[in-house]
Structure 1
Amino acid sequence: MNAEEMLARLERPLSPWRRVATAAAAIGGCAGAAAIGVLWATEPDLPVRTQVAFAALVAVGLAWAGYGVWALTRRTPLFARDRVVAGWLALGATVLLTGLVVAVTVARRPAQPLLLALVLALLALAVVNLVRARAARSALLRRKHELGG
């Protein structure tokens, strides 16, 4: 196999499974942002903390929708750039969730150690996912460089 054939394999289009998962992320992000936005709009006298939480949830939903549209319109995995972007989005959303849960559990008595353990496990999983995505991208870019691409 020559360098051009290998580079062509590295730039192949998204698999059908990846397209479905990306479309689900886009649709889910839109649906979540719309549902929270409608709820937010129909409740005018919400406390400031609740409005901030709703704004964060809408932003997370719109970010996932934007990611899905971006990845689907590019049509190729872009040397795993889509995985890195998804990893950063997941980490950002998980950090927001962790901050919210920590704030709520500190404010309430007694503390909820099981809930804290759950969000910390999700945070660790998001970090591992991002590290793996970056490693996969680095390996692909190294391979492209070795092939002279």
Structure 2
Amino acid sequence: MIDNMLFLAKAEDASQAMDWQNIDLALLGEKLQDYFDGMVEEQSMRLEMALHGELRADPQLLQRALANLIANALRYGDQNSTIRVFNQDHSLTVENHGPALSEEQQARIFDRFWRADSSRHQGSSGLGLSIVRSIMRLHQGSCEMHSEQGVNRFTLRFPY
């Protein structure tokens, strides 16, 4: 939790040095797939990577943002469901099946320490999605969440 708080404090500094690179999204997807394979199996879930093309971003920050979204989908998604990670134009999306969130919950989902269901936090600090938002701000992009009919979709939008 201390590491997450330090990261958030550093991310608020606009002078944060960014390591801009062209990232091969398919390779990033393979790396994330390998990392999460065991956890996905433990949760009786599937992880489907459909990333292609390139994106200009800071590779470590982008990997952290996607990893946080995938970990969140594993924590709150339905067992025996599939987590899908895909890209389109200048956006990346992580989608999972799970309990729908109200509009009020969706509006607060990226707030620090906030959890939609504190009884199900399973050791979560409530900082993961706040970190995602900070990473997207550093990229001059945005993040959004939509929840409807049992599908929760987190989208990272890049401005270029």
| Superposition TM-score tier, normalisation by shorter sequence | 0.3 to 0.5
Which is bigger in relative contact order (C-alpha 8 A, separation at least 6)?
Answer: 1
Structure (1/2) with the larger helix percentage:
1
Structure-1-length-normalised TM-score: 0.35
Q: Which has the larger radius of gyration?
A: 1
